[in-house]
Structures are given as C-alpha cells and as structure tokens.
Amino acid sequence: MRIPFGKKGLLAAGAAITGTVFFWRVRARRREEAEAREWEAEIAGAVDEGRAATAASPSMPSSEPTSV
C-alpha cells in the first residue's frame, strides 16, 4: 500500500493526532476543575446564607406550648 505523502506525511499525521488527543485531555481536565470550583463556591455560598439566616433569627424561645 502506497502512502500518499510518504513517511514525513505519516509522521505529521501521527503528530497531529497525538496533539489533538493531548489538547482534548487537557481541556477536559480543566473543565472538570472549573466545575469542581463552581460546586465549592456554591456550597460555600449556601453555608454562608445558612449562617446569616441563623444569626438574623431571634434567639427567643418559641411561643408554642410544649407538651410534657
């Protein structure tokens, strides 16, 4: 079987494929890291909101009767 561009063309094609796969894996890893940072920020925001709501609530006991 004859290679249209010879050995140099085959080597260039292999390098292009390898570069594409490498770029794709790095991009996927960065995307996962960005998603993880978004989740961490969302969780931290929810915790802060909960703490703020707790601090803003009155510390008086409930006026509902308790059954013993």
Q: Check residue 6 and give left, alpha or beta (phi > 0: left; psi -120 to 50: alpha).
A: left
Question: What does the pLDDT look like over 27-66, one tens digit per residue?
Answer: 999 999 999 999 999 999 999 999 998 888 776 665 666 6
Q: What pLDDT, on a 0 to 100 scale, did the predictor assign at position 51?
A: 92
| Helix (H), strand (E) counts: the chain | 1, 0
Decide if 56 is inside a domain: no
The total of structural domains in the chain comes to 1
Decide if 65 is inside a domain: no
Decide if 22 is inside a domain: yes
C-alpha dihedral sign at 35, 40, 43, 49:
negative
Decide if 64 is inside a domain: no
User: Which range marks the domain in which residue 4 is found?
Assistant: 1-51
Decide if 61 is inside a domain: no
Q: What pLDDT, on a 0 to 100 scale, did the predictor assign at position 61?
A: 60
Burial 13-28 (b: 16+ CB within 10 A, else e): eeeeeeeeeeeeeeee
Tell me which of 53 and 22 has the higher pLDDT. 22
Report how far residue 37's alpha carbon sits from residue 47's, in angstroms, rounded to the nearest whole number.
Answer: 15
Decide if 4 is inside a domain: yes
Q: What pLDDT, on a 0 to 100 scale, did the predictor assign at position 26?
A: 97
When pLDDT is averaged across residues 11-15 and rounded to a whole number, the result is: 92
When pLDDT is averaged across residues 15-31 and rounded to a whole number, the result is: 97
